[in-house]
Structure 1
Amino acid sequence: MEILETIGFDLGHGETAVTKAIVESIEPPQMLEINNKKNQITALGWHPQLGYLVGEQALIQAGVTQLQISFKQKPNHDPDYRKTISTFVATYYRLLQESKQIEGGTTSYFYVGCPSGWSVSEREEYQKLLQTAGIPHLNVVPESRAAFMQAKEAGRLEYEKLKSSVLIVDIGSSTTDFTLVKSLHEIPVDFGSNALGASLIDRAIFERTLAKHDQKALLEKVFKEYPHHQARCELACRKAKENYFSNEQLYSDSQSFARGFESINEQIYFIPQVNKLIMEEILNQPLPELGQKSWMQAFRAAVSEAKQKLDQQNIVPKLLLMTGGASRMKFTHQICQEIFPEPETLLRPDPEPERCIALGLARVGRWDLRATAFKQEVNKLFESQKLKDLIERQIPELVDLLIKPLADNLIESAVRTGIKDWQKNQIRTLVDLETSMKERAEQWLKSDRAQKIINNQCISWFNNQIQPDLAAETDPICRQFHIPRSSLRFEEGIDPTFVNPELRIGDAILADTVAFIVNVVIGGGTLASIITLILTGHFTWPIALVYGASVMAAGMELNRQGVKEAIKTNVDVPSWLRPSFLNDKKIDDICKQIKPELEKVLQEQLTANQEAFEQLIAKVEQGLQKALSAKVQEAIILIQ
């Protein structure tokens, strides 16, 4: 069955949020609600009559006998952990289906996030565990990828920055993850033991509040016998922390406090409270989970280590994206900005960090499906005969484009230059002239100059002939996936190697025609024109030249052909006669006279050389596929 929607499932250590994106739409994902709230405390409770409850309902429902909170961690074989995770996801799935917020079944594809520091094997094991919840289609992806996709599609990343280096700092409840996104590829930045989660701050507030409580001993006894009461009290500490960091200025006064509240019974209350002075003490107290570093010290050390590792690779991120609910703590922004200063690195905290990952996961899912479909459509074009046909159809145009510049340059480089040398008495006989012109023609046809002309004509051919036909095939694909038509066009030009791979006139395409062109047109045609001038010029000195002493002595009676051969072989026109006999105007006339014949021969020989052009068609098709494939890799980031 066709997948209609992607579900972003952000199962966090502290909070959980779910979103939905329609696969065939480019509209932003929508937040889904559980218990009429878009974000829920990650909590699972058991009620004897109501069964399993999640989120706020698990916390406030009277009669809940078991309560689990903050249970996200790396996959392991603890049966209680595995049951808690599987049951929590299955309950969420059931509630979303019952409320008709998702289609469910095989039409919905769930994308669940995990810390980017998890290994591939840990990610795979986590995916297997989640699939026990009974969701048909489910995939686990790094949360950093979701943060990047959300920033991209929400318009906070320009295209050029998308292609550059972006550092994502995800400060979660259980971990802080650093991920470098370079050329659209994610690279986790490890910095040792990663226990740097904001829940450590909650725990520190809890321990401080418990230590100062008037009924500490009684509370400890209650917590031991009824763990769900401790879980609720820890959540109250988290609430106090969030209230504080949501508006720190309100609590800078020593008499102002951000508070949480939990009632154990009618006589016992647990009321954590923090202000600026208390929070500074908590953030700077040594924590055993962090090797006796304070939370602030550990965060600064982690950011510094990430900076050092990037420096070792000569990488300066253009952007630093901050996400995760704990990224609302302003001091984390200040530390990141100190270590990654502007303007080299721009700081971009996510405006809705508690929703960022869920939204990004739904976008990642939709993007994955649409990007796969996009590549499949382009591959269909590759697998068809369309590319080959459109190239083959335009080969006559390429021949026409090559003929004139080849003819012009052969005449200038071989014929005109050779005759000028003869005119200047640098070449003795017409036989020597013929040899010189042949050598010059062959050298030019194999020269870089000839190759450059061919490259330019091939590019012109591609832009004016191939490109419009190609656009007719690729534009509908771009429209289908809502990306600019230019994404699969080569409007800025194309590398000559793609449209002219190894097209060497001297030793490839014209290999079989060079000798013919040189002998028939350049050699025979040019010399015939010069000999005609001799035979039809002033009668007195040409005869003397033709019937030289060496010829007459042999007693030969020369026919016309014999005269021509004798002139070619024996006549050495005096240097002082040559400029007047063959002036520049006559040289121009000779060049004009042989040009149509040269163009005709080039046309015939190029057109007849089918095998060479079949090879060219195949090579251009391969080059075009390679170029389009590169375009596809650039274009898929634009898909929404």
Structure 2
Amino acid sequence: MQVLETIGFDLGHGETAVAKARIESIEPPEMLEINNKKVQITALGWHPELGYLIGEQALIQAGVTQLQISFKKKPNNDLNYRKTILNFLATYYRLLKDSKQIEGGTTSQFFVGCPSGWSVSDREEYQMLLKESGIPLLSVVPESRAAFMQAKEAGKLDYDKLKSAVLIVDIGSSTTDFTLVKSLHEIPIDFGSNHLGASLIDKAIFARTLANHEDKALLEQVFEDYPHHQARCELACRKAKEDYFSNEQLYSHPQSFARGFESINEQIYFIPQVSRVMAQEILNQPLPELEGNSWIQSFREAVNVAKEKLDQQGIVPRVVLMTGGASRMKFTREICEEIFPEPESQVRPDPEPERCIALGLARVGRWDLRASAFKSEINQVFDSKKLKDLIERHIPELIELLVKPLSQGLIDKAIKPGLKDWRNNKIRTLADLEDVMKKQAEDWIKSDRTRQIVNSQCVTWFNSKIQPELAQETDSICRKYQIPRSSLRFEEGINPDVVNPELSIGDTILADTVSFIVNVVIGGGTVGSIIALILTGHLTWPIVLIYGVSVLAAGVEITRSKTQDAIKTKVDVPSWSRPMLLNDSKLDSICEQMNPELERVFREQLTANQEAFDELIAKVGQELKNALNNKAEEAVILIQ
């Protein structure tokens, strides 16, 4: 069956959220609910009668005998870890299907996030593990990509920023990941061992609360015998932390504090408290998990390292996109703004970090499937044979566009100057004139000016003949995927001065065509034919008529061909008579009469070299296909 919907599954160390996007729609994804909540605590409980419970239900349901929280980590062989994460995912999947929020089966494709700092092998192993949960279609993608896609789709990044450098800072419960998105490609920034997660703050609050508790010894025994009680108390610490950092202004007074609450029994309570003073102490205390550094010190160092790595590459991010639940902590934003100051960089925290990744994952999934279908259509419509046929069909028009300016240019730059030099007695015989004009013709054909002429004519040909037929095909694809028609058009033609420098179509067509023309005109004997045309048709017989056969060497038989050869090689026409033979009016008349014949020679020579044209057609067709693929790669970012 065809995939109809993508499910963004943000399985976080602290919280889990799920969103759904319909493939054929461009509407924003919708958040899905479990236990009437769109965001769940990542918790899995076991109840002897009710089976597996997740989220808040696992925490509050009486009779739960086992409770696991904060179990997201790199894949490993720990059987308890593998069992926990698979049961959590399978239970979530079942609840979503039972509530009719997803189709399930092969019509629903899941996209599960992972930290961008994980290696490709970690990601692949994680994907293999999660597939054991029984979900038929499941892929693992970096959470940073989801954050970028969510920002793009929500209109927080314009097209220029999408194509520039964007730094994503994902502050999660277990890790803090830095990812550079440059020209739409993600590049994780690795700064070594990454244990910088906000759950370390939860643990510090837990340790401080336990240390100051009047029943500390009793609680330690309870936690050892009944680990699920400790899990609940740790969650109470997380809630107190989140309450404080989400509402810091409320707790600015020394006597005010955020608190959590967990009842062990009717007599023993665990009540973590977070005041302004306590928060600063916890953030600045040395932590063994961070090699003796404090949380705030480690975060600042991590941001600095990311900045240094970007500086080494000469990259200044236009946007620093902050996500993850811990990005709500005001000091994290202040540190990022200090290290990446405006106006060079803009720091933008996501307003809903707890939903950002789930929504982004659903968008990534939809985008991946639609982009794949989009590029497949491009490849089908514009296969190499079709493009080759298109170019081949319009080669006669290209030849016609080249013939006139090449002919006129050769007259102006080689023939006229040569004849004037002969008239001015700078050249002795007509044979010498032929050599000089051939050299001038070759120099002109190879000159930058000739390249400009061919370039200009190729642009005209491409824009008037090739581009309109391409647009007929590409416009319908753009309409289907709801992207601008210009995304797949070569609106500027193939002029390399104005075409996107990432596209090679202009340079390739122009370079190949100019090289081809030079080879045909010089290597194909065109220049020699032109010189013979000039001398035999327009200059030789006037000399014979004026001087008569007496000018010829004795014993030369009067035949057309031998007369021409003899005059070319033996006759040195006196300098006084040359202006009479070739005055300005006669020179202009010769060139005017010669132009149609030159055009005919060019046309015949170009048309006759079909083998060379076949090679040009094939190569230009392939380059045009590559250029379309490049434009398609750029266009896919516009697909919703």
- Give TM-score scaled by structure 2 length: 0.93
Question: Paired residue for 1:529?
Answer: 538
1:205 maps to 205
Instruction: Give the partner amino acid of 1:151.
Output: A
- Inter-partner Cα distance in structure 2 for 1:568 and 1:304: 81
2:519 is paired with a residue of what secondary structure? coil
Query: Which letter does structure 1 place at the counterpart of 2:531?
Result: I
> Cα distance, 1:150 vs. partner?
1.2
Contact map agreement 1:497 1:623 (CA 8 A) in 2: no
Mapped to 2, the partners of 1:184 and 1:565 lie a distance apart of: 68
Residue 383 (structure 1) aligns with: 383
The 8 Å contact of residues 521 and 602 in structure 2, kept in 1 or not, is answered as: no
Q: Structure 1 residues 562, 329: CA separation in 2 closer, same or farther (over 3 Å shift)? A: closer
Tell me if 1:21 matches 2:21.
yes
Equivalent in the alignment of 2:450: 450
Cα separation, 2, equivalents of 1:555 and 1:42: 112
Residue of structure 2 equivalent to 1:547:
550
Specify the alignment match of 2:97 in structure 1.
97
Change (3 A) 1:44 1:560: closer
Q: CA deviation at 1:261?
A: 1.7
Measured in 1, the distance between the counterparts of 2:559 and 2:521 equals: 37
Is 1:322 paired with 2:322?
A: yes
**What is the CA–CA distance in structure 2 between the aligned matches of 1:384 and 1:102, rounded to whole Å?**
41
Distance in 1, Cα, partners of 2:561 & 2:133: 99
Could you say which residue in structure 2 is the equivalent of 1:141?
141
Match status 1:514 vs 2:525: yes
* CA-CA distance at 1:105 after TM superposition: 0.4
CA 1:285–1:558 in structure 2 vs 1: closer, same or farther (change >3 Å)?
A: closer
Sort the Cα spacing of 1:439 and 1:493 in 2 relative to 1 into closer, same or farther, 3 A.
Answer: same
Identify the residue that residue 312 of structure 2 maps to in structure 1: 312
Q: Structure 1: where are the runs of 5+ without partners?
A: 537-541
Change (3 A) 1:314 1:525: closer
Deviations 1:231-252 (A, max 9, x none): 1121111111111111211111
- SS of 2:90's equivalent in the other structure is helix
CA gap 1:558/1:607 in 2 versus in 1, 3 angstroms: closer
Match of 2:214 in 1: 214
- What residue in structure 1 maps to residue 508 of structure 2? 498
Shift of 1:15: 0.3
Identify the residue that residue 46 of structure 1 maps to in structure 2: 46
Cα deviation, residue 202, structure 1: 1.1
SS at match of 1:508: helix
Aligned residue identity for 2:420: K
Cα deviation, residue 123, structure 1: 1.5
What is the CA–CA distance in structure 2 between the aligned matches of 1:121 and 1:173, rounded to whole Å? 22
Bigger drift between 558-567 and 233-242 goes to 558-567
Q: Residues 445-484 of structure 1: matches in 2 within 5 Å?
A: 445-484=445-484
Conserved? CA contact 1:501–1:616, under 8 Å = no
* Residue 424 (structure 2) pairs with residue 421 (structure 1): no
1:612 aligns with: 612
Equivalence for 2:86? 86
* Rounded Cα–Cα distance in structure 2 between residues aligned with 1:623 and 1:132: 44
The match for 2:274 is: 274
Distance 2:583 2:481 in 1: 67
Partner of 2:502: none
Structure 2 residue aligned with 1:265: 265
Name the CA shift for 1:281/1:602 in 2 (closer, same or farther; >3 Å): same
Does the C-alpha gap of structure 1 residues 452 and 556 become closer, same or farther in structure 2, counting only changes over 3 Å?
closer
Of stretches 498-507 and 590-599 in structure 1, the one that deviates more from structure 2 is 498-507
Give the Å deviation of 1:502. Answer: 2.8
Return the alpha-carbon distance in structure 1 between the equivalents of residues 191 and 561 of structure 2.
91
Q: Is the 8 A contact 2:384 2:622 kept in 1?
A: no
Question: What is the identity, as a one-letter code, of the residue corresponding to 2:537?
Answer: A
Aligned-partner Cα distance in 2 for 1:254–1:561: 114
Q: Secondary structure at the match of 2:512?
A: coil
Give the whole-Å Cα distance in 2 for the aligned partners of 1:16 and 1:92: 10
Match of residue 225 from structure 2: 225
Distance 2:561 2:191 in 1: 91
8 A contact 1:8–1:358 mirrored in 2: yes
Amino acid at match of 1:272: P
Q: Distance in 1 between matches of 2:613 and 2:621?
A: 12
TM alignment of 1:231-380, pairs within 5 A: 231-380=231-380
- Between the aligned residues of both structures, percent identity stands at 70
Structure 2: 5+ residue runs without aligned partners? 497-505
* C-alpha deviation, 1:42, in angstroms: 0.5
> Would the aligned equivalents of 1:10 and 1:358 in 2 still touch at CA under 8 Å?
yes
Give SS of 1:232's match: helix
Quote how far apart the aligned CAs of 1:534 are: 4.2
Question: Helix, strand or coil for the counterpart of 1:385?
Answer: helix
Distance 1:177 1:567 in 2: 86
Q: Please say if residues 176 and 196 of structure 2, whose CA atoms lie closer than 8 Å, have aligned partners that are also in contact.
A: yes
Look up the equivalent residue of 1:223 and give its one-letter code: F
**Secondary structure, aligned partner of 1:186:** strand
- The DSSP-based 3-state class of the residue aligned with 2:21 is strand
C-alpha contact (below 8 Å) 1:429/1:571 kept by paired residues: yes
Q: Give 1:595's aligned residue.
A: 595
* Amino acid aligned to 1:275: S
CA distance in 1, matches of 2:152, 2:364: 11
Does the aligned pair in 2 maintain the 1:257–1:273 contact within 8 Å? yes
Code of the residue aligned with 1:514 in structure 2: it is G
CA contact (8 A) 1:442 1:514 kept: no
* 3-state SS in 2 of match to 1:605: helix
Answer whether contact 2:442 2:522 (CA < 8 A) is retained: no
**Cα offsets for 1:363-411 (capped at 9, x unmatched):** 1111111121122112213436321221111111101101001110111
1:440 aligned partner:
440
CA distance in 1 between partners of 2:391 and 2:558 (Å): 55
Specify whether residues 304 and 382 from structure 1 end up closer, same or farther in structure 2 by C-alpha distance, changes over 3 A only: same
Change (3 A) 1:253 1:531: same
Q: CA deviation at 1:357?
A: 0.8
Deviations 1:528-581 (A, max 9, x none): 323444456xxxxx34x7634x74xx4779577766555444443433443344
1: CA distance, partners of 2:25 / 2:50: 38
Shift of residue 337 of structure 1?
1.5
Q: How far does residue 152 in structure 1 lie from its aligned partner after superposition?
A: 1.6
- What letter matches 1:529 in structure 2? H
Note the C-alpha offset of 1:97. 0.1
How far does the alpha carbon of each residue in 1:311-369 deviate from its partner, in whole angstroms, 9 at most, with x for none? 23332222211110000001001111212222222211111111111111111111111
Which region of structure 1 is more displaced relative to structure 2, 11-20 or 313-322?
Answer: 313-322
Answer with 81-90 or 57-66: which moved more: 57-66
Q: How does 1:560-639 map to 2 (within 5 A)?
A: 567-639=567-639
Classify 1:507/1:602 alpha carbon distance in 2 versus 1 (closer, same or farther; 3 Å).
closer
Equivalents in 1 of 2:593, 2:135: separation in Å?
82
1:596 to partner: Cα distance: 0.9
Letter in 2 for 1:598: L
Is contact 2:252-2:276 (8 Å) kept? yes
Q: What displacement does 1:583 show? A: 2.0
Q: Which AA in structure 1 matches 2:252?
A: S
DSSP 3-state at the match of 1:315: coil
CA displacement 1:138-178 (0-9 Å, x = unmatched): 11111111111111221212222222222111100111111
Q: Tell me the alpha carbon deviations over residues 580-623 of structure 1, each in whole angstroms, 9 at most, x when there is no partner.
A: 44222221111001101111222233223322222221111111
**Could you state the TM-score of these two structures normalised by the residue count of structure 1?**
0.93
Indicate whether 1:73 and 2:47 are aligned. no
Alpha-carbon distance in 1 for matches of 2:628, 2:533: 47
Secondary structure of 1:426's aligned partner:
coil
Aligned mates of 1:331, 1:472 — CA distance in 2: 54
Letter in 2 for 1:547: S
SS in 2 for 1:19: strand
Partners of 1:596 and 1:363 lie apart in 2 by 63
Aligned-partner residue type, residue 434 of structure 1: E
Cα deviation for residue 471 of structure 1 reads 1.1
Q: Deviations over 1:107-163 (max 9, x none)?
A: 111111111111222222211221111000111111111111111221212222222
Cα distance in 2, alignment partners of residues 83 and 558 from structure 1: 107
Q: Does the 8 A contact of 1:262 with 1:269 survive in 2?
A: yes
Deviates more, 1:196-205 or 1:314-323: 314-323
